[in-house]
Structure 1
Amino acid sequence: MSVQLRETAQALAQTLWREHTVYRERSGGVVIRGEHVKRWISLAPAGGRDEILVRAGRILDGGTTAPARAEAVVSLSTETVQLAATCRRLLAEAASGPTSAASRPAAPHQATNSAARKRRSAGARGFGYWVIVACVVGIAALSIYGASVPS
């Protein structure tokens, strides 16, 4: 089945994306990565003899893969065109939802770190403000002193 799965993945990859990478997972499945679209598809044996589990997800910045966001069980004997249509639907589902770190809810420890970063940056802005005020006051004082000293 793994040979048939790899052949199916190769044909599917060429149908979906011009640029792709196909590789075998440790679990016996096959992954198709589309770096240019930041998406991946996984084909793995499912419970049935002629069934495969098709999963789709996103590729995060730095190249790591996010967990699958959509999945479906499909017959391995399905034509490549029909399998590609299923994959496109799953890829569309995987694309929906938050896509950036700013729009995703933060984990509890990340929220704490984020709040600390905001406090630090607010403190840095406050310090910079006072430096500017001190410089302006110093220049004004020097101007007044220079105007009051007889030459």
Structure 2
Amino acid sequence: MRAELRDTAGALAKLLWREHIVYRDRVGHVVIRGEHVQRWISLAPTGGRDEVLIRAGRILDGGTTAPARSEAVVPLSAGTGALAAVCRRLLADAAADAAPSAPGRAR
């Protein structure tokens, strides 16, 4: 499963961003970093055999990562295109959470 996650992450990274870094973190999750957009995506195995937990968040000033802003469990068999669509939705959620709210509007 770990090798499959690494391969899937590499394919997703190419669909999501032209510039990216793919690596394995300390706990074994595969992380895709898009420094130029200040966002990250991680893929982690779940208890399900064919499922992956996808999490998205921001990269803070100085290069550290903020906690995940959104996450979803998706079957790996859905295919790279479907996984990329989920990643884009999660990244959009993370971007919306990071955007400053307009004056006078409650969040």
Same fold at TM > 0.5: yes
Give me the whole-angstrom Cα distance separating, in 1, the residues matched to 2:28 and 2:69. 20
Residue 20 of structure 1 corresponds to 20
Question: How many residues in Structure 1 have an aligned counterpart in Structure 2?
Answer: 100
Q: Within 5 A, what are the aligned runs for 1:28-107?
A: 28-99=28-99
Give me the whole-angstrom Cα distance separating, in 2, the residues matched to 1:13 and 1:77. 17
Whichever residue aligns with residue 66 of structure 2, its letter is: A
Answer 1 or 2: higher relative contact order, Cα 8 Å, separation at least 6.
2
Q: Which runs of 4+ in 1 moved over 3 A?
A: none
Shift of 1:99: 4.5
Quick check: which has more Rg, 1 or 2?
Answer: 1
Whichever residue aligns with residue 14 of structure 1, its letter is: K
% same residue: 72
- Name the structure where helix makes up a greater proportion of residues: 1
Task: List gaps (5 residues or longer) in structure 2.
Answer: 101-107
Task: List gaps (5 residues or longer) in structure 1.
Answer: 101-151
Residue 105 of structure 2 corresponds to none
- Name the structure where strand makes up a greater proportion of residues: 2
Residue 9 of structure 1 corresponds to 9
What TM-score do you get using the length of structure 1 for normalisation?
Answer: 0.64
What TM-score do you get using the length of structure 2 for normalisation?
Answer: 0.89
